[in-house]
Amino acid sequence: MTETKVISDAEQLLESLDKLPEPVVKPAFIVASGLPGTGKSYFCRRLAERIPVIILESDAMRKTLFSSPAYSAVESARLFQAIHHLIEQLLKKGVSVVLDATNLAEKNRERLYHIAYQLNAKLILVRIEAPPEVVQERLRNRAEGTVSEEDHSEADWAVFQKMRTSVQKINRNHFAVDTSRDIAPVLNKIVREVNR
């Protein structure tokens, strides 16, 4: 894909965002990682209530770029090229970013580590999980349309089952949170880390 196309996609994504928080000297780059239905978006929204960050939610951004998403490999590649470009632009401006995407493969996360390192951002990794029976219930509610309009994902139980096999261990220090329990202790630790 051409650099021009990536930039134009990234600009389109930027226009879809809410007002950006105030820039800081050393921005934080928080990467959420987890399967569909584990509560990534919920966790990211709770975090954004506590610290000035902009959330880049891949499901919402996919719908910004593609009016009827196909979830193909080509589409995902284009989406994430634009997201990576946008992350770089925001961090360069001193804006703290939360990336809300599955981020299951270490090779994909390596790219994110590289961005944080290059731009001297504070990298914080969060593995988000929930027991399978809780996820199944959440995904059933999603399929029945009984979740909030803030939920942009279309992933169902079959997608969860399929993606489950591609989860790779995070090889760096990271926080782990089970969203079926109290998330406050992990939120507090991350807030402290960001403010340090």
pLDDT single digits (tens) 70-113:
888 899 899 999 999 999 999 999 999 999 998 888 988 999 99
Burial 19-40 (b: 16+ CB within 10 A, else e): ebbeebeebbbbbbbbbbbbbb
**pTM assigned to the model:** 0.89
The first and second tokens of residue 4, run together, are 């021009």
pLDDT at 168: 82
pLDDT in tens, 13-55: 999 998 999 999 999 999 999 988 888 989 999 999 999 999 9
With vertex at residue 158, the alpha carbon angle to CA 156 and CA 164, rounded to the nearest 5 degrees, is 100
178 in Cβ contact with 126 (< 8 Å):
no
pLDDT at 165: 79
pLDDT at 145: 64
Q: Residue 159: which pLDDT band, with cuts at 50, 70 and 90?
A: low
pLDDT in tens, 116-155: 999 999 999 999 999 989 888 887 876 666 555 555 555 5
With vertex at residue 126, the alpha carbon angle to CA 176 and CA 121, rounded to the nearest 5 degrees, is 145
Output DSSP code: residue 129: E
Residue labelled with tokens 């507090």: 188
- What CA–CA distance (Å, rounded) separates 86 from 69? 20
Structural domains present in the chain: 3-195 (3.40.50.300)
* Nearest to 102, CA basis, from 31, 35, 150, 176: 35
At 40 the three-state DSSP class reads helix
